[in-house]
Structure 1
C-alpha cells in the first residue's frame, strides 16, 4: 500500500494495539487489513505548534506607556545609572 510503512491484519492489530500505537506515535504509518484488503490506517496525530498559539496572544490587549523605558531619577541613582 502506497504511503504506509507497514500492514498488519485485524487480529494482530487487536492483539497488539498498544505496540502499534507506540510505533505510530514514533512517526510510522500502519494500515490494518481485513482479509488482505486495507480497512483502516493508523497515522500520527498532527500536534499544533504551541509556540505559534502563544506568540502574539496579547497583541491588542496590552498597551505600554510611552515612558515605559524611562527610569525614575531616584531609581537610576540607586542603581548608579546617573
Structure 2
C-alpha cells in the first residue's frame, strides 16, 4: 500500500488490496481520507466519503437579488458606547 495521506495526496492501493481490505478502507474514507484504487499501476477509482470531492465551482453573481444587507448593518447601537471609549 502506497500511503501519501500526510502530504494531501490520496492513499494508493491496488484493486486486489482494496477487495481484501474494503472494511478498513471504508472507515478511512469516512474519516476524511481519499483512497485511490489502481489496476495495472493506473488510477481507476477514488474512494472518498459521500459529499467529499471536487469543490463546486463558484459563479459570481449567482445569489444576486437573494441577499439583502441593511444600510445600517455596520452601525453600532448605544449598548456598545462603553466599549468604544
TM-score for the superposition, normalised by structure 1: 0.51
**Map of 1:15-54 to 2, 5 A cutoff?**
15-46=20-51
Unaligned 5+ segments in structure 1 are: 48-82
1:73 alignment counterpart:
none
Structure 1 counterpart SS, 2:46: strand
For the aligned residue pairs, the C-alpha RMSD in angstroms reads: 2.1
Q: In the aligned structure 1, how far is the partner of 2:30 from the partner of 2:9?
A: 14
Unaligned 5+ segments in structure 2 are: 1-7, 53-85
**Map of 1:55-70 to 2, 5 A cutoff?**
none
Aligned residue pairs: how many? 46
Indicate the structure (1 or 2) with the bigger Cα radius of gyration: 1
